[in-house]
Amino acid sequence: MKRIKFPLVMKNGAEARDIEELRENFDIGLAAEYFSNGKLERWLENNYYDDILQAVRGLDSSGQDFGRRLAEALGARQEDAGEVDVQAVMRRAGLKEKLKPYVSEEQLEGMDHIADSQEELERLAKEGCGRVYLFGEGFSITEWMENMECIGVNRPTVSLEIRSREEFKKKNIKLRDVDFADEETKKAALGDSVTDVYNDLLDVLELYLKNAQKAL
């Protein structure tokens, strides 16, 4: 069976078609991602780098020094191997593989912040991430969260610690493509559409009156 060769996109968008080009443009973060999704092994196999392939397959990806060992196996310079959180890169790559049945490759490229657990959602919220994609069974929007848009990937169930519609609106949190844990949660998050339109009109009218007073 003929092996189909393909390039690996490395540092600065350089396309590595052989091992020398990979070493010359080596990026440990990208190399770890390709290791995680199996693309690195396929690339080595299709280019007949059998010795390197065996060395890569023998690596323990859970080890703290995995980045350094991966660079060594590929014969690449290791200067940046200790500066990149390789485990985080591989975790993210693995998560993206799980998301492929739900979203397109193009959508995946734009999904910078993905939470697959409550702990990860809280971490991203503390970092001030404005948009977070939710991939899991259930999540809770806690009282201290604010200024976020949470978008469900596999339509997870969401509960709220905030039960007041007014308080929820003040937090500036938007929820899309999710199911709600109960009717009370749904009401706090979505409210009565007629009431919301009425309140929005009042806000616009109040702003208009303030601007009119300033003009007088």
Is 184 found in the same domain as 116?
yes
Give the pLDDT of residue 210. Answer: 60
Res 184 pLDDT > 70? yes
Inside any domain, residue 12: yes
Tally of domains within the chain = 2
Average pLDDT over all residues of the chain = 86
Is the predicted pLDDT of residue 49 greater than 80, yes or no? yes
Strands (E), the chain: 8-9, 15-16, 114-115, 131-134, 138-141, 148-152, 157-160, 173-176, 179-180
pLDDT confidence tier of residue 216, bands split at 50, 70 and 90? low
**Is 169 within 8 Å of 188 (Cβ atoms)?**
no
Within a domain: 112: yes
Same domain (yes/no): 25, 59: yes
Confidence of residue 191 (pLDDT cuts 50, 70, 90): low
Domain coverage including residue 110: 100-193
Last residue of a domain, one of 59, 87, 115: 87
Does 107 lie in the same domain as 56? no
Q: Would you say residue 106 lies in a domain?
A: yes
Q: Which two tokens stand for residue 134?
A: 């939710």
Please determine, for residue 203, whether its predicted confidence score (pLDDT) is greater than 90: no
The answer to whether position 81 is within a domain reads: yes
Q: What is the CA radius of gyration of the chain?
A: 24
CB 168 within 8 A of CB 174: no
**Residue 199 within a domain:** no
Same domain flag for 106 and 40: no
Per-residue pLDDT, 12: 85
